[in-house]
Every structure is written in C-alpha cells, then in structure tokens.
Amino acid sequence: MIGALKKLEVDFRGELPLVSNLDQLEALKVKYLGRKGLFTSVSGRIAELSKEEKKLAGQAMNRVKLLLEQLFADRESLFKSQAISSEKKIDTTMPGTFYAPGSLHPLTRVILDVTQLFERLGFSVVDGPEVETEYHNFEALNIPPNHPARDGFDTFYLENGHLLRSQTSTVQIRIMEKVKPPLKIIAPGKVYRPDATDATHAFMFHQIEGLMVDKDTSFADLKGALLAFAKEFFGSKTRLRFRPHFFPFTEPSAEVDIFWEAQGQWLEILGAGMVHPNVLSALKIDPRAYAGFAFGMGVERIAMLKYGVEDIRQFFENDVRFLRQFE
C-alpha cells in the first residue's frame, strides 16, 4: 500500500503541471482527493493490513494527503493571482494619460487684473444681480421712463417686469442703498443688450463699474485713478483723453480714450463722470456734503485692445486654438 501511495504521489506530481486553470485544478482535486477519488480508494486498503503495517501506512497516508493538499493550495493561489493581474493588465511601460492643464479665460484674466489693480488703490470688489428691476437699471440712475436716453440702453425685458441689466451701473445703486459713504467699489459683471452680433457687438458682454463717494471727491481723483489704471494695464507711456459726453447719471460726463500707438489713433475705452446729484439724493446721500465719481468700462473692449483681438465673438466660441494663446 505504501508503494501505491508513492505511485499516487508521482502520478499527481506528473499531472499537476498540465493543469492550466482553476476549473481543471478543481477536477484534478476531485480525481485525487474527492470522496470517491484515488486517495480514498488506495487508503481503503489499510483494512487489509496487519497492526504493524497499519501504523506505517497511516503515517504515509497522512504525509501524502497533506502534501497533495498543500500542492493544490499553492497552485490555486497561483491561478487566482494570475487572474487578478490579467484583469488589470497594467503595462507600466505605457505612457500616462495626458491632461492639458487648464488656464483662465482671457476675459477672466482681464477682470482679475483690473479689479486687483483697483484693489491696490483701495477699492473693494462687489457684485450685483444680473436680473434687475427697472428702478435699479434706469430710474435710480436718473433715467426716467420715456427718457430718450433709454434708447441707448436697449434692454431684454422679462415677463415678470424685470430685465437683464444693460449696464453694471446698477451696482452703484445697490451698494449705496446699503453702504453709506465714504465708499470705493469696483464691480465686474455681465450685461445684456439685444444688439445684432458682429465683430464688435455681442448680446452679452462684461463691464467693470467703479464708484467712489466721499466728502471731497473731485474730477481730479477720477483722472488720477483712471490714469493709474491705464498706465498699469496698457503700459507706462499710455496717454488718456477725456472727451465731454452725456450720461444721465453723471454731471459732468466724459468718454475716455486711450491713444493706440499701433494704429496711431484714439480709441474709446470707458464712460465716466461725477455722480449726478439726483442719484445721490434719491439714495439719501446729501449732494452738498458728498461728491462721487463713477466710471464703467467694457471688458471685451480693453481685452481686444490689449491682446489685438479683432473679433469679439472669439471670446465666446470656446475654440481652444484661440484660448490657448492666453495660457
């Protein structure tokens, strides 16, 4: 019987390497160690042996059984670990996935540059709602109903009587309703006008509004702040020109141009002026005690000038070939 056990072991060692997956291994296990397997039938013969022989045969049985079980277990864990690594199939020599780093949109970049510059001059950044009341967009800015100035601010009206703000000057009103002077704010944001889209017009664009109100704020303060901005943003040699103009909410009012060396001409970049006494009074700020300056600039406009962009639509088309130039 010991010889038979030995043969069983040898056969088993011969067959084991031929097994190539877990199913075949299981079948081999049943063949050798199953209840009706080879091991059971060989060891059944122990009954025929003498007491002396039984002892030796018993030891041999235990040894072979443990050995077979051990070899099965080793094979099993080998197959299992191979199955896991073939599922993942990690090839460490493959190049990794490349994610292009994102970057700020040029308009975001310009808004950040301009607002940070004014922050250094002591202005606080605030914002206001894009859905506005007629009162904040017009009346409070000294533009009464039926006033022809409204034509210049063509507006998207909503069914509930509100509107999409056509200028960030609304934020002047919103802030003065809450905060009493002295105040210095800068308010970037989107505005909307139902203009036909072309190279210089879009139905949505951005403005940056500035407002300073204090006891003796003067037009010189306005000029100083705007010149500081222009020199920092466009370069230290930049020249500014203030042209008389009309805005209902400022008196006097001006349009401000910068001299564009590349084209040898003056180009308008913003509107500005001294806050109209009517605007201050309506907000219960005494125009005899306080004065303010205000300005509003078009973000796309100054971005186009600074970067030489010729078509405003490029800012909104999300063409990465355009956007990557600003990384």
**Quick one: which of 265, 267, 272 has its CA closest to 301?**
267
- Pick between residue 43 and residue 167 the one whose CB is nearest to ligand DAH: 167
Q: Are 240 and 227 in contact (CB under 8 A)?
A: yes
CB of 272 to ligand DAH, least distance (A): 5
The three-state (H, E, C) secondary structure of 51-94, written as one string: HHHHHHHHHHHHHHHHHHHHHHHHHHHHHHHHHHHHHHCCCCCC
* Sites of contact with ligand DAH (CB under 6 A): 167, 169, 209, 247, 250, 271-273, 294-296
- Pick between residue 75 and residue 165 the one whose CB is nearest to ligand DAH: 165
Burial of 47 (0-12, 13-18, 19+ CB in 10 A): exposed
CB of 156 to ligand DAH, least distance (A): 14
CB of 95 to ligand DAH, least distance (A): 51
DSSP3 helix / strand / coil % (the chain, rounded to 5): 50, 20, 30
- Pick between residue 75 and residue 184 the one whose CB is nearest to ligand DAH: 184
- Pick between residue 181 and residue 271 the one whose CB is nearest to ligand DAH: 271
**Quick one: which of 142, 143, 141 has its CA closest to 172?**
141
CB of 171 to ligand DAH, least distance (A): 9
Q: Are 229 and 219 in contact (CB under 8 A)?
A: no
- Pick between residue 9 and residue 209 the one whose CB is nearest to ligand DAH: 209
CB of 296 to ligand DAH, least distance (A): 3
d(CA 59, CA 297): 98
CB of 297 to ligand DAH, least distance (A): 8
Residue 291: which residues within 8 A CB-CB, separation 6 or more? 213, 214, 215, 216, 217, 218, 274, 275
Tokens 């041999």 correspond to what residue? 60
